[in-house]
Amino acid sequence: MTKSSIIAKLDIKNCIGCGACVEFCPKRAIPYSVIGFISSLAKIDANLCDGCGKCVEICSHNALVMFKRDC
């Protein structure tokens, strides 16, 4: 399996920790345990993210953006 060259990335200044993105990630790249417990911000696991963009679409705070993966 090849990784997508585009992944979701958090724009930290816009994230309010609502967790909406967690529910829409089909790859579970945004662990729910991070939202509200360890941190109030979303954290994206770049190893799990396939670049589908569903989290970006659902985020009404523009806290997630699609970004070129670091090599």
Spell out, as residue ranges, where the chain has pLDDT lower than 50: 1
Domains, the chain, with CATH or none? 6-68 (3.30.70.20)
Residue pLDDT, tens place only, 34-54: 555 555 678 899 999 999 999
- pTM score, two decimals? 0.79
**Neighbouring C-alpha atoms within 13 Å toward the C-beta of 41:** 12
pLDDT score of 23: 87
